[in-house]
A and B are shown apart, each in its own frame.
Chain A
Amino acid sequence: DGGITQSPKYLFRKEGQNVTLSCEQNLNHDAMYWYRQDPGQGLRLIYYSQIVNDFQKGDIAEGYSVSREKKESFPLTVTSAQKNPTAFYLCASTPGQGGYGYTFGSGTRLTVV
C-alpha cells in the first residue's frame, strides 16, 4: 500500500544535539511538507518542497534544515539552534500544486531531555 512513513515514532534529543527525522513516501508525489504541532495548537509549516532539489521556508523555519535529493525522501534536521524543539512533527505530501488533499505520515514525537 502506498503511503508516507515517518521514523522514528519517538525521538529524544539532548541539549545541543542535532537530530534528523525521516520522511519517505511511495506515492510518487511531487510535493512534500513538514509541519510542527504543539499541544492544543494547529499545524505550523516548517519547510516545503515542490520538486526535487528545491525547497522553501515555511512560517517557522528557524532552527530547522531540510534536503530533497530524492523524490521519495524529505528528511528534517532539528538543529541545536532550535531552542524549543519538543513537539509533534508531521510530514505530508501531495501530487503537486493546486488543490489536492494531503497525505500525512503518522508523526514523530520529539522530546528534549
Chain B
Amino acid sequence: SQQGEEDPQALSIQEGENATMNCSYKTSINNLQWYRQNSGRGLVHLILIRSNEREKHSGRLRVTLDTSKKSSSLLITASRAADTASYFCATGRSGGSYIPTFGRGTSLIVHP
C-alpha cells in the first residue's frame, strides 16, 4: 500500500501563527488529499490536489505538491483555536482502483 506519512507528528502554535505540515509518499500517485479529524469524530475532506497540479488554495489552506520529491505540504494561515485537530494526507495509486491509504497524521494544537 502507498501510505502517506505526515510530519511532524505533533505541532503546537499560538493563534494567528501559520501551521505547516508535510506529507511524504513512496510511489506514483493520481492525486493527494488532505483531511482534518477533530477528536473522536470522522475525517473531513479539506482539499484534493491532482498529480499535474503544483499548488491549490482553499480559504486559509494552501497545499503544494512536488511529485519529483514525492511530497506535499499543507499550510494553514492565521490559525485559530478551532483549527486544533489531527490532519491526515491520503495518497492513491496510479491506475487501477483508487483506494487511498492514510498516514498517522499530524496533531495540531492552536493555543488561544
Contacts and interface: CB of A to CB of B under 8 A. Distances in A.
Interface of A: 4, 6, 33, 35, 40-43, 45, 48, 50, 58-59, 88, 90, 92, 97-107, 109
Interface stretch (B38-46, B65-73, B77-85): B38-46
A33 to B, nearest CB: 8
Given A90-B42, A104-B42, A104-B43, A43 B102 contact: yes
Given A99-B50, A103-B45, A107-B42, A59 B1 contact: yes
11 contacts: A42-B3, A42-B102, A42-B104, A43-B88, A50-B97, A58-B99, A90-B42, A99-B48, A102-B100, A103-B45, A104-B35
Contacts of B50: 99
A48 B50 CA distance: 23
Contacts of A59: 1
Interface of B: 1, 3, 30-31, 33, 35, 40-45, 48, 50, 88, 90, 92, 97-105
Given A4-B42, A99-B50, A102-B43, 16 more contacts: A35-B102, A41-B104, A42-B101, A42-B102, A43-B88, A50-B97, A59-B1, A92-B43, A98-B30, A98-B98, A99-B98, A101-B33, A102-B35, A103-B45, A105-B42, A107-B41
Contacts of A88: 40
